[in-house]
Amino acid sequence: MKRALVPLLIITLLLPFASFATAECPSEGHTVVLKAPAVSRTADGQLIGVATDFVITVAPGTGHVYVETWPLAEVDMQASARLAAQIAGKVLGVNMSKYDVFIQIKADSPIIGGPSAGGTMTVGIIAALEGWKVNPKVMMTGMINPDGTIGPVGGILEKASAAHDVGAQLFLIPQGQRIQYVQETQKKEIGGIVEINTQTKKVDVVDYAKERWGLTVIEIRDIYDAVYYFTGHRIPRPEAPAYVKIDTSFLKDDALKDYDNTTAYYQSTLERLKKSDVNYATYTTLLEALNEAKAILNQSKQSLDDGMYYTTMSKDFQARIIIRHVNWYLGVKSEEDVQRILRTAGSEINASEKRVSNITIRGTTMLQAIAAAEERVEQAKGLLDEAWKYYYNGDYWDAIGKAAYAYERAKTAVFWASLGERFATGDVIGKDVVKTTARDYIDESNLIVTYIESMYGTVGGDLSQSIQQAEQYYEDGKYSAALFTAMEARVRAQVFLDTLGIDNQTVLKDKLAGMKEGAKVAIALAQNKGITPVLAIAYYEFAESYEKSAEENGSMEDLQTAMIFYQYARETANLFLSKPSQTTIQTNTTATDIPQIVIPTPSPAETSTSTPTSPERIPETAIILIAVGSFLVGAAIGKKL
């Protein structure tokens, strides 16, 4: 009896590890092997290119993605691998919950991994799902975006070198990244004094790689291009309508009413200031603030006349923050008055939160609008917390300014909730959908931010803080706020990568054109699915207003802001639209032959150097402070409704 119990005991002890054994050694499915370039950091801090091996197996399973790296990568690849599996399923119309994906990554030295291998992993998963061979002479770099486009990466030149070193003949890079800007440092000693000069040099990767190594470099825009070059199989892209109309006419009545109300508020506050008994310094400061609000209202009127209704309301919103700041300040005679103002803002936020949280969501259009509303409620709470901190520090002026901003932000939450109700249609959607999407965006955004900081330090700004804020929102159960905050960080990170080192406006305008087209296509595809992506349409128009401003004044800041809002429009258009569509595969080779490298002559439309890349904190440009005497006043320039 005891002998019989021994094998049983052993089986019992090993049973918990059975799933791990299965994960490591799938007995069925398809496996593909690809090489991908990465970067590694030397002991003296220099970045060098290294080749990595990807062994990708897809087998029947339950939707898991297993990743093993050796040696350990500096950036976790799990989120990028998970996104790659999702996109592969979406492209092929395959339910990935019925498959497990196994990815082994091997390199000769520790690599800065992460998002730059996203495109390669997606190609490998697609090839494994279909049982296709991949050409070992083809390599690529580029992150994979939720809509299947190939996003920008760093270290292009180093990776091209690594591709050449392992015998690649064709190297694929993200569209718009053939021109790289590198820093060259020259030392010259004159009379014992060492003079160091650093210059920025433009390098055409296509020409450089061909001349130095005989390596062909091609820009690609999406996973459909990548799969073709690797396998010879052509997967048809989702088709957008030939004519796409994007306008915010659904906001016309709101914009007309909003402009009239804000103008009336300005006039009444101006009259109140003139009748007040404040001293000269205070009067001058407050009048200058109202003049700034008036200038913004003039911009609002121009936008209204141009039929840019969301931009009109955003300008009104900026102006109202200033006007309310002045109006509330005029009513302050004591510390208790400041407390009363902050409590008024708190009451407005509580009412907005109650209004938004009690809505039953029906349909994807409404879901997007309500998600935006919930995010704005959380922003308002944060602003009010800042207002109370200023109050307790005795800074009543800034306390009132933050409270005014919080009050107006809470009102915009109610606006988006009401807008969502106008488009309510379809089945009820639970918040678990937002929770799942938020988790994905946080993980993916964190991956990109970590990747940037691993290669370039903290030059990307406060992106890590945005990720931390998104995590906090998620832990607090504020999934919409978490989603949008992570999305903001993702967009800013990608625009940073896509414009790194570029100060040439012609190049930036080309990239802007690509981003604009990408946003337009995303909106059109959403509309094809019966969705009215109101948020994306609104941001698209707002981006147009900054694009126009950049053309008029040559502002690089306005140009970058336009880029970010176009990218934000594209990301929001794709939100919650994850259902795969069935596709018909067009093949140029048989599944048993290694595909030949085919380099077709691109059409003029495909030779653009722009990059339709994805996916805040969107640069809601900081308040402009006007200092007169001991007072400061804020003008919220660039903030969105």
Active-site residue flag, 268: no
Residues 6+ apart with CB under 8 A from 608: 175, 176, 510, 513, 514
Residues 6+ apart with CB under 8 A from 172: 119, 138, 139, 140, 141, 142, 217, 218, 219, 220, 225, 226, 229
Tell me which amino acid residue 357 is: S
Cα 392 to Cα 406: distance, rounded to the nearest angstrom: 17
| Residue among 133, 39, 32, 24 at smallest CA distance from 84 | 32
| Residue among 364, 407, 381, 384 at smallest CA distance from 529 | 364
Cα 116 to Cα 448: distance, rounded to the nearest angstrom: 9
What six digits make up the tokens of 627? 């200092």
Contact 57, 30 (CB under 8 A): yes
Q: What is the largest CA-CA distance in the chain?
A: 101
Residue 545, CA distances (Å) to 59, 87, 309, 564 in order: 49, 32, 11, 12
Cα 626 to Cα 427: distance, rounded to the nearest angstrom: 50
Residues 6+ apart with CB under 8 A from 241: 524, 527, 528
Residue 170, CA distances (Å) to 95, 115, 137, 214, 595 in order: 32, 21, 6, 9, 13
Number of residues in the chain: 641
Contact 515, 539 (CB under 8 A): no
Sheet with 30-41: strands ordered across: 30-41, 47-60, 99-107, 65-70
What six digits make up the tokens of 54? 């990807």
Active-site residue flag, 116: yes
| Residue among 612, 542, 605 at smallest CA distance from 571 | 612
Count of other CB atoms within 10 angstroms of residue 182 = 12
Q: Which of 90, 137, 159, 402 is catalytic?
A: 159
Q: Which of 35, 80, 90, 116 is catalytic?
A: 116
| Catalytic residue positions, numbered | 116, 159
